[in-house]
Amino acid sequence: MLIDTYGRVATDLRVSLTDRCNLRCTYCMPEEGLQWLAKPDLLTDDEIVRLVGIAVTRLGITEVRFTGGEPLLRPGLVSLVERCAALRPRPRISLTTNGIGLARTAPALAAAGLDRVNVSLDTLRPDVFQRLTRRKRHQDVLDGLAAAHAAGLTPVKINAVLMPGLNDDEAPGLLAWALDHGYELRFIEQMPLDAQHGWRRDGMITAADILTSLRTRFTLTPEDAGERGAAPAERWLVDGGPGRVGVIASVTRPFCGACDRTRLTADGQIRNCLFAREESDLRAALRSGATDEELAERWKQAMRGKKAGSGLDDPSFLQPQRPMSAIGG
């Protein structure tokens, strides 16, 4: 069991498969991209499956989410999903992706055992998409969403970040469109995880801003608090339901007290918090011949050091040195 000193138990594992991405979102990385991790630094497929297996069979992990960078860029992704789905007890397996390439791979991923997907889509306007991502791939994302839905990777969830002066007027339209297509929309406050360290608290669109905008068009009823559990999103019924919308307010409404997540980076580091500035190296131990029991104990020790909160509400907060693309979402 992965339990910290505050009694929180981690059952949800986020696994970054690569730090590379085929978009250049303004809130994530510079237009020229980043210095990517060298291939020898990345965990191999066998190493990933072994560590996920330890987490599932020895440490109580029940949910595995593959992330990036962009996980669809990882060669062998379908095989990774299939091998992790074969673990017993079987974890629930999901994927966070920008959707580019999902139209081609969704059927194979579903057949391999993937349960569902989260797809990033911040705008319905192709010109705004290009300004936000610096790529002309808007239709590819829409096609990927449709393919995921058709393949049964449901509920298909959409993650949207609103940025001032770009798409901050789109919340009601995005929600209406998502409901029409049977997708579950979640707005995410912009977080201090950009490679440029350009995030400003006074320049972000907050959860309160988002809800005010949505209520110009919809009636929102808070979901029963007991249904949220450790989920990062607060959810509301839209116009009485059954449609829902979520808001992940990591900055203004932190939910650290219920956190059940642990993270494995693409280069084999354990992070006990998305905003942590410290990591614990499993890759070196793994490659030095550590046993499964020894690796599990190292993982437990890493989680015991988890802090009470992310520190985002502290004026002295410092961003993690590594950006989102390197540590996974």
Buried/exposed code over 172-200 (b: 16+ C-beta within 10 A; e: otherwise)? eebbbbbbeeebbbbbbbbbbbbbeeeee
Query: Would you report the helix, strand and coil content of the chain in percent, each value rounded to 5?
Result: 35, 15, 50
Residue 262 in marked binding region: yes
Kindly state the tokens that stand for 100.
């580019």
**Inter-CA distances, 97 with 87, 91, 196, 231, 288, Å:** 23, 19, 22, 19, 32
Residue 53 in marked binding region: no
Which strand (E) or helix (H) includes residue 177? helix 171-181
Residue 8 in marked binding region: no
Residue 283 in marked binding region: no
Q: Phi and psi at residue 227, in whole multiples of 5°?
A: -80, -15
Residue 96 in marked binding region: yes
Instruction: Please state, in angstroms and rounded to a whole number, the distance separating the CA atoms of residues 221 and 93.
Output: 30
Residue 44 in marked binding region: no
Residue 25 in marked binding region: yes
Residue 183 in marked binding region: no
Cβ atoms of 277 and 27 within 8 Å: the answer is no
Residue 105 in marked binding region: no
Residue 84 in marked binding region: no
Residue 125 in marked binding region: no
Residue 62 in marked binding region: no
Contacts of 242 (CB under 8 A, 6+ apart): none
Cβ atoms of 251 and 282 within 8 Å: the answer is no
Q: What sign does the CA torsion over 178, 183, 189, 190 have?
A: negative
Residue 6 in marked binding region: no
Kindly state the tokens that stand for 313.
């509400």
Residue 191 in marked binding region: yes
The binding site for GTP comprises 14, 65, 96, 157, 261-263
The binding site comprises 14, 21, 25, 27-28, 65, 69, 96, 120, 157, 191, 256, 259, 261-263, 273
The binding site for [4Fe-4S] cluster comprises 21, 25, 28, 256, 259, 273
The binding site for S-adenosyl-L-methionine comprises 27, 69, 120, 191
